Structure 1
Amino acid sequence: MQIDDREMVTVALPGAAAPLLRAHLAAVALTSPDPQALAGFYQDALGYEGQWLDGHWTGRLGARRLMIGPGAANNVDHTIFAVPYAQALSDLRGRLASAGISVVEARSQALSGAAIRFSDPDGNVLLFGVADPAEEIDMAGAARLQHIVFASDEAPAMVRFYCDIVGFTPSDYVRDEGQDLTSAFLRCGEEHHSLAVFRAPRKRLDHLCYDVTTWTDIRDWADRFAARHIKLRWGPGRHGPGNNLFLFINDPDGNWLEFSTELEQVVGSRPVKTWVHEERTLNSWGSAFLRS
């Protein structure tokens, strides 16, 4: 799929009155060369409650899940999104079929009933299914798994796939001096983004993000990490796209984890915002990690 990213919408949203997709990030399955150590980190540092089955760990923090199984570090086995009702899943299945995307029927404990499995242009495996109503009850004070970011050396193709076929809505684009796409922030509800794509030299997981309620929670999580001698790797700071406050740490496998609050809420339609690829876009308070 050859796509010129400069053809992407930058002024108004097509079909903004009726978004194609409403969903939320329900679960992420990571692989690790030492699943036991990685699961131990998430239980101690983040407060997950989990259990083991056949060498795979499933943890819950609030209403979202994290799974860990054997494999390479810094790798996502699959990502799960939940839609609110069966018709939304049927509509997605139809869009995938019309685009010639191979779909496999699947099941997951993070979802209610049937689900579908398919892959994006980079080979990232996705499961979509109907949300379990019980899964939407978050425990007070728990960080909520909120978004995932994929790095890609084919970012324009990835963004077109997620927007035109899966049905995400673009919130913000970031472009370099040549107007080539460097980042895209995509939403599937009122939160500014639940998935993003960053341009990078190779395909990989960029980071996972946990949403917390207030700026004070950012302080409290930083204190929690300090008590465990876990260094802050970036932040605190404020992103341009999304306007959210953030800090980052690494887990033992080197996966980047973001803790964020005050993410922009998009109610109804709005034009796609375009940002310049520079440090102040990624962090208006100071330094930034520019992926490309």
Structure 2
Amino acid sequence: MNRPRPRRLGHVVLNVRDLQASVRFYTDIVGLQVSDYIEDQMAFLRCAQDHHDLALAQIPKDAAEWHNTYRPQRPGLEHFAYQLESLEEIEQAAAFLRSKNVEIVRGIGKHGPGENLFLVFQDPDGNYCEFYAEMLQVTPQKPYQASVWKNDLKAFDQWEFGRFVVDPPDWGPSRQ
């Protein structure tokens, strides 16, 4: 079984304490452009053609501070992602990860914002790493108007867990 061959580092997702303040920082100071929002929970930003190279996820106001390994609902890195070429490569990567006893966290799925395919897994230190493919491209020939998605299952996975290779997460209004 062949190991995956990523094309490039594609995007990073950060958990943030104040989504709107972070959006202002990354647009006004860093110079990124907003692609989409998921209500008041996430923002997707870009600097080039990919729908997003940075996503920001709102954590609860009373969330814990920093920890040494990944913990949901704390500020900092949620995951980083490497681009693969296709669904077929992501399926092969899932089989490879399973053969090496690497914990798959979520996927295979297809996000709403960005329309990218995803497979998320853990490294030895508990960091979340993602393989993705087929990210929506924004170009002068294919302009894109930012929109606000509902914070629902279709925004998270358009396939509604139909291709997940692990048990899907609990889904409901309280999830984050």
Q: TM-score, normalised by structure 1?
A: 0.48
Letter in 2 for 1:285: W
In structure 2, list runs of 5 or more residues that go unmatched.
Answer: 61-73, 162-167
Deviation larger for 247-256 or 281-290:
281-290
Q: Aligned to 1:241, which of 94, 108, 113? A: 113
Q: 1:72-91 to 2 correspondence within 5 Å?
A: none
Quote the Cα distance in structure 2 between the aligned partners of 1:237 and 1:142.
18
Corresponding residue for residue 75 of structure 2:
203
Alignment of 1:192 with 2:66, yes or no, is no
Alignment of 1:272 with 2:150, yes or no, is no
Deviation at 1:251, TM superposition (A): 1.1
Alignment of 1:163 with 2:31, yes or no, is no
Letter in 2 for 1:142: P
Q: Aligned to 1:154, which of 1, 18, 31? A: 18
What are the Cα deviations for residues 203-241 of structure 1, in whole angstroms up to 9, with x where unaligned? Answer: 121111111111111022112212211132211111000
Quote the Cα distance in structure 2 between the aligned partners of 1:271 and 1:235.
27
Letter in 2 for 1:182: Q
Q: 1:1-292 to 2 correspondence within 5 Å?
A: 141-175=5-39, 181-201=40-60, 202-268=74-140, 269-287=143-161, 292=176
What are the Cα deviations for residues 92-140 of structure 1, in whole angstroms up to 9, with x where unaligned? Answer: xxxxxxxxxxxxxxxxxxxxxxxxxxxxxxxxxxxxxxxxxxxxxxxxx
Match of 2:41, SS state, is strand
Match of 1:233, SS state, is strand
Deviation at 1:273, TM superposition (A): 1.7
Shift of the 221–143 alpha-carbon distance from structure 1 to 2, 3 Å rule, reads farther
Deviation at 1:262, TM superposition (A): 0.4
What are the Cα deviations for residues 151-206 of structure 1, in whole angstroms up to 9, with x where unaligned? Answer: 0121110011101221101111110xxxxx21000010001111110011331211
Quote the Cα distance in structure 2 between the aligned partners of 1:197 and 1:252.
24
Letter in 2 for 1:186: L
Quote the Cα distance in structure 2 between the aligned partners of 1:280 and 1:253.
30
Q: How many residues align?
A: 150
Letter in 1 for 2:148: T
The structure carrying a bigger strand percent of its residues is 1
Deviation at 1:259, TM superposition (A): 0.7
Letter in 2 for 1:151: N
In structure 1, list runs of 5 or more residues that go unmatched.
Answer: 1-45, 48-140, 176-180
Indicate if the aligned counterparts of 2:16 and 2:58 stay in contact, CA closer than 8 A: yes
Letter in 2 for 1:173: Y
Quote the Cα distance in structure 2 between the aligned partners of 1:151 and 1:232.
20
Match of 1:149, SS state, is strand
Deviation at 1:270, TM superposition (A): 2.5
Shift of the 225–143 alpha-carbon distance from structure 1 to 2, 3 Å rule, reads farther
User: Relative contact order: is structure 1 or structure 2 higher (C-alpha 8 Å, sep ≥ 6)?
Assistant: 2
Quote the Cα distance in structure 2 between the aligned partners of 1:145 and 1:221.
16
Q: TM-score, normalised by structure 2?
A: 0.78
What percent identity do the matched residue pairs reach? Answer: 37
Letter in 1 for 2:52: H
Match of 2:104, SS state, is coil
Quote the Cα distance in structure 1 between the aligned partners of 2:35 and 2:59.
20
Larger radius of gyration: 1
Q: What is the alpha-carbon root mean square deviation over aligned residues?
A: 2.0
